[in-house]
């Protein structure tokens, strides 16, 4: 069941999104949070940092598992997702660095890295709350349109539209990595609660298809319709 909320502003989206995450942390201080990168969650992370600074939130018992990482980028590369998480959240709250997990984009054996990542999520007892953005092609994590839903963490070739969309973060499109490691749809769907956020006119159509169109691997986010506890917040700006 999807609780689909449409709000006018990105500020309002961030407030509501942060409310949901804050409620999870307060209810279960040792929650496992599944986290996302990209532009959509930045304001939510800022909101969570403000709540931490005001004493409302404590991250000391939280564990985080991120959705994905570019292959070939180390954690000190400014466009890596590990670096993004440090700069946009981890460095500004009291989360234990040893309890923050992001797939290793430099792993020599990507299959072993993916298997280890899935084992880690299992050992942690699964994800309590998974935060998701959505790509223009309907991807969640980097699960790109295809003929099936892939269950576990895997190596994926990025779709040309994803490479083009993410070029804004790099000096040129040629620098965008062509592949990534991503959590699979199985791990995402096993999260006990899911929050998907999207903002701006360009995402309107894909969000509508994901929320109320046919469930199809051509639009990977549509699988969320089969999850019992999903909130989607879309803002117009």
Q: Which of 17, 103, 135, 184 binds ligand F6R (CB under 6 A)?
A: 135
> Is there a catalytic annotation at residue 58?
no
58 vs 169, beta carbon nearer ligand F6R: 169
- Are the beta carbons of 48 and 55 closer than 8 angstroms? no
Give me the 151-180 binding string for ligand F6R, x by CB under 6 A, dash otherwise: ------------------------------
Q: Are strands 68-70 and 193-199 parallel, antiparallel or unpaired?
A: unpaired
Give me the 41-70 binding string for ligand F6R, x by CB under 6 A, dash otherwise: --------------------------xx--
Size of interface with ligand F6R, in residues (CB under 6 A): 14
Instruction: Check 68, 69, 113, 128 and give the catalytic one.
Output: 68
5 vs 58, beta carbon nearer ligand F6R: 5
> Is there a catalytic annotation at residue 147?
no
Does position 40 bind ligand F6R by CB under 6 A?
yes
Does position 140 bind ligand F6R by CB under 6 A?
yes
Cβ-based neighbour number of residue 23 at 10 Å? 12
Q: Which of 25, 33, 36, 158 binds ligand F6R (CB under 6 A)?
A: 36
58 vs 145, beta carbon nearer ligand F6R: 145
- Are the beta carbons of 148 and 215 closer than 8 angstroms? no
24 vs 37, beta carbon nearer ligand F6R: 37
Q: Which of 16, 24, 32, 38 binds ligand F6R (CB under 6 A)?
A: 38
Contacts of 79 by beta carbon, 8 Å cutoff, 6+ apart: 70, 73, 169, 170, 175
> Is there a catalytic annotation at residue 96?
no
Instruction: Check 69, 113, 139, 154 and give the catalytic one.
Output: 139
Give me the 64-103 binding string for ligand F6R, x by CB under 6 A, dash otherwise: ---xx-----------------------------------
> Is there a catalytic annotation at residue 68?
yes
Catalytic residues: 68, 137, 139, 144
Residues near ligand F6R, by CB under 6 A: 36-40, 67-68, 133-135, 139-142
């Amino acid at each position: 069941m999807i609780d689909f909320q449409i709000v006018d502003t990105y500020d309002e989206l961030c407030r509501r999104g942060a409310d949901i995450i804050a409620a999870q942390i307060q209810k279960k201080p040792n929650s496992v949070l599944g986290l996302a990168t990209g532009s959509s969650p930045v304001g939510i992370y800022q909101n969570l940092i403000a709540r931490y600074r005001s004493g409302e939130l404590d991250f000391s018992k939280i564990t985080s598992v991120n959705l994905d990482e570019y292959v070939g980028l180390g954690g000190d590369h400014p466009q890596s997702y590990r670096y993004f998480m440090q700069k946009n959240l981890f460095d500004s709250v009291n989360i234990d660095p040893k309890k923050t997990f992001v797939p290793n984009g430099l792993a020599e054996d990507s299959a072993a890295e993916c298997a280890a990542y899935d084992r880690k999520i299992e050992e942690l007892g699964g994800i309590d709350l998974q935060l998701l953005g959505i790509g223009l092609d309907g991807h969640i994590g980097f699960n790109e349109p295809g003929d099936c839903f892939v269950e576990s963490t895997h190596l994926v070739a990025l779709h040309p539209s994803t490479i083009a969309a993410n070029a804004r973060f790099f000096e040129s499109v040629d620098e965008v990595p062509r592949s990534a490691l991503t959590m699979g749809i199985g791990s995402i769907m096993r999260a006990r609660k899911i929050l998907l956020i999207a903002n701006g006119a360009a995402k309107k159509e894909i969000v509508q298809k994901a929320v109320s169109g046919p469930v199809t691997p051509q639009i990977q986010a549509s699988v969320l319709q089969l999850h019992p506890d999903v909130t989607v917040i879309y803002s117009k700006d």
